Amino acid sequence: MSEDAAEPKLQRVCIPSIGEAFPKIKVKTTMGPISLPDHFAGKWFLLFSHPADFTPVCTTEFSSFAMNHQKFRELNCELIGLSADSLFSHIKWVEWIKEKLDVEITFPIIADSLREISSMFGTIHPHPDGGAIRACFFVNPKGKIASVLFYPKGVGRNIEELLRVVKALKVVEEHGVVTPANWPENEFIGSDVLERPPTDVKGAMAIKDRSGCLDWWFCRKKI
């Protein structure tokens, strides 16, 4: 195979890391200019990207986010959308959703037609078509990225699962514990949480036979 015929190298996508400080940026949104993360100081917020305005899956997602906005707010969590579209496109799309679906979009949407912010957060992927994908960045009240989730274009997100993630992140940070699979409906321990295992022999032996512990590294507790 000649060098010209060789398959092109994959472009590396840079994704912000969990625990990293959310970058300080100024963005244009459907609700005016916003400085992040300062605009949401003292709150959790979820920045979620979508491939494009006026597309079917994204329209159902944004409508569902709006219909569940109050549930996020009850968790002290705000929402902000992002896509590589213009402010004009966002405004028309919000208008269309209100007219056709009777849903009011109650959170800001970042305009990013030059893809500068999308590139910063690694939401433009080279394959299969070089377009934007669905991403979620959960940010804690200290402005640190707490979780990152990516979805392909063809799979709409489950808003109840994103609410569950916010609840779990808050419990983990506020109580210093960890949550099991499917929490708060785990098959073995229900709505209980798990303690972080001790890191030395003395600590392990001290709790090995304690009530609620199957072993020193597997101890449940209620919160």
Domain range holding 120?
25-157
Q: What are phi and psi of 198, to 5 degrees?
A: -65, 160
Please tell me whether residues 85 and 184 are part of one structural domain. Answer: no
What pLDDT score was predicted for residue 1?
43
Which among 206, 212, 139, 220 is positioned nearest to 178, based on CA atoms? 220
pLDDT computed for residue 8 by the predictor: 46
Q: Tally the domains of the chain.
A: 2
Is it the case that residue 195 has pLDDT exceeding 50? yes
Q: Which H or E run contains 192?
A: none
Do 149 and 206 lie in one domain? The reply is: no
Measured CA angle at 120 (ends 114, 122), to 5 deg = 105
* 190 in the same domain as 135: no
Does position 103 have pLDDT exceeding 70, yes or no?
yes
**Shared-domain flag, residues 140 and 182:** no
pLDDT for residue 53: 96
Residue 193 lies in a domain: yes
Length of the chain: 223
Catalytic residue among 58, 77, 213, 219: 58
134, β-bridge pairs: 151
CA distance 80 to 106: 9
Q: Are residues 148 and 181 in the same domain?
A: no
pLDDT at 10 over 80: no
Cα 214 to the center of its chain, rounded Å: 33
Residue 5 has pLDDT above 90, yes or no: no
What are the pLDDT digits (tens) for 65-87? 999 999 999 999 999 999 999 99
Q: 6 vs 2, 9, 79, 125, 127, CA distance in Å? A: 6, 9, 43, 20, 17
The pLDDT of residue 11 is: 53
Is 58 marked active-site? yes
* pLDDT value of residue 51: 92
Is the pLDDT at 200 greater than 80, yes or no? yes
Residues 112, 35, single domain; the answer is yes
Does 131 share its domain with 197? Answer: no
Distance CA 111, CA 118 (A): 10
What was the pLDDT predicted at 165? 98
Rounded to an integer, the average pLDDT of 31-42 is: 97
- Cβ-in-10-Å burial (0-12, 13-18, 19+) of 144 comes to middle
Query: Average of pLDDT values for 100-129?
Result: 90
Structure tokens at 4: 């010209």
How do strand 109-111 and strand 177-178 relate by DSSP bridges? Answer: unpaired
pLDDT score of 164 more than 80: yes
What whole-number percentage of the chain has pLDDT above 70? 92
- Domain C-terminal end among 126, 157, 188: 157
The answer to whether residue 178 scores a pLDDT higher than 50 is yes
Whether 50 contacts 133, CB under 8 Å? no
Tens-place pLDDT, residues 118-153 = 999 999 887 666 688 899 999 999 999 999 999 999
Based on the fold, state whether residues 116 and 194 are members of the same structural domain: no
Between the two ends of the chain, the Cα-to-Cα distance in Å is 62
Q: Give percent above pLDDT 90 in the chain.
A: 83
pTM of the model: 0.90
CA–CA distance, 125 with 197 (Å, rounded to integer): 38
**What is the CATH classification number for the domain harbouring 119?**
3.40.30.10
Higher per-residue pLDDT: 209 or 27: 27
CB of 17 closer than 8 Å to CB of 122: no
What is the pLDDT at residue 208?
83
- pLDDT of residue 2 exceeding 70, the answer is no
Identify whether 113 is part of a domain. yes
Q: Are 139 and 44 in contact (CB under 8 A)?
A: yes
